[in-house]
Amino acid sequence: MQFDVLIEVRPRQGISDPEGATIERSLPTLGYDGVTSVRVGKAIRCTIEAEDEALAHAELEDLCARFLTNPVIEDAAISMQPQVER
Amino acid sequence: MTRRVGVVVFPGSNCEHDVVEAIRSLGGEAELLWHDEADLRGVDAVVVPGGFAHGDYLRPGAIARFSPVMTAVAELAASGGPVVGICNGFQVLTEAGLLPGALQKNAGLKFVCATVGLEVASTRSPLTSSCEPGAVLQVPVNHFEGSYTCDGRTLDALRADDRVVLRYVENPNGSLDDIAGICSEGRNVVGLMPHPERAIDPLLGSADGVPLLRSLLETAAVGA
């Protein structure tokens, strides 16, 4: 099966995020007073071929731990859905 | 006998020639090692220089650690050979797991380009062995992602084992515990954000990088 994957790489909880903090500080000037807790990460999209979703997930977890994140400062959220047959 | 220092070159490295020049000016031999070759050609020590290895894509050092040369660098490190990572090279060594912790974006998103004071916090490393303990050296920094961080247990271990090698006198980037440079458990792998190779002559504004690189050459001579 083919899956469409979205991997969200985020600064781990408790790790400072100067980019998010800088964006947040600029918000009141634009009138957005109620927007807080800004955190900046990155989104990585890909497709993966695997027998089922669990196997795909396991492979992506491994990929995130070994390459796509630095576990000292980042973690990842993986979401995926089966590609629709055409 | 003259000691040979290998300077690793990744696509995007940009401080390799400065390191070669600095090593030669101190009487050592230096040669460039292309990242795609897993052969260190028998050098006595390795420097991973600054720059933007592999464009810093994904994260600084994240892709460089998979370059074939890094297998050979890891072997040299495992056998006790001196390995020094400067700036982007420090980032590469943390990503490769040869040094603990990580380098984050600077506090306040500030790119720092300045000559800063560095306190020699430990002389038990190949980069500081011939420095005076507690000496303050003036060495340039030039980075955006140089704020050192690690978990509490790692920091405790670094402090307890005298593995913080250099500390900023005035912290320019938000580094944990003012850390500018650390060494590995075996002490032979050192990473630092400042650039000693850019401080080798008063004409450059400072010659305080000389005792650091001289330490490296002397350590290489002892180890061989």
Encoded tokens for B105: 């974006």
A39: domain CATH number is 3.30.1280.10
Touching check for B62 and chain A: CB below 8 Å? yes
pLDDT at A5 over 80: yes
Determine whether the interchain pair B105/A73 forms a contact, defined as Cβ–Cβ distance below 8 Å. no
Q: How many domains does one find in chain A?
A: 1
Q: Are the C-beta atoms of B167 and B178 separated by less than 8 Å?
A: yes
Among the partner residues A15, A22, A73, nearest to B109 by beta-carbon distance: A22
Domains of chain B (ranges; CATH) run: 4-223 (3.40.50.880)
Q: Using alpha carbons, select from B49, B55, B53 the residue that is nearest to residue B17.
A: B49
Nearest CA in chain A to B110: A18
Enumerate chain A positions whose Cβ falls within 8 A of a Cβ in B. Answer: 15-16, 18-19, 22, 67-68, 70, 72-73
Residue type for A28, please? P
How does the average pLDDT of chain B come out, rounded?
Answer: 96
> Above 0.85 for ipTM, yes or no?
no
Query: In three state form, how does the secondary structure of chain A look?
Result: CEEEEEEEEEECCCCCCHHHHHHHHHCHHHCCCCCCCCCCCEEEEEEEECCCHHHHHHHHHHHHHHHHCCCCCEEEEEEEEECCCC
Determine whether the interchain pair A18/B58 forms a contact, defined as Cβ–Cβ distance below 8 Å. no
| Residues of B identified as active-site | 87, 195, 197
Residues of chain B with C-beta less than 8 angstroms from the C-beta of A67 = 58, 62
pLDDT at A86 over 80: no
Encoded tokens for B17: 């020639």
Among the partner residues B58, B109, B149, nearest to A73 by beta-carbon distance: B149
What is the dihedral angle through the alpha carbons of B183, B184, B188, B193, rounded to the nearest 10 degrees?
A: -40
| 224 residues of chain B, pLDDT tens digit each | 678 999 999 999 999 999 999 999 999 999 999 999 999 999 999 999 999 999 999 999 999 999 999 999 999 999 999 999 999 999 999 999 999 999 999 998 899 999 999 999 999 999 999 999 999 999 999 999 999 999 999 999 999 999 999 999 999 999 999 999 999 999 999 999 999 999 999 999 999 999 999 999 999 887 64
Among the partner residues A16, A22, A68, nearest to B104 by beta-carbon distance: A16
In angstroms, rounded to a whole number, what is the distance separating the alpha carbons of residues B66 and B110?
A: 29
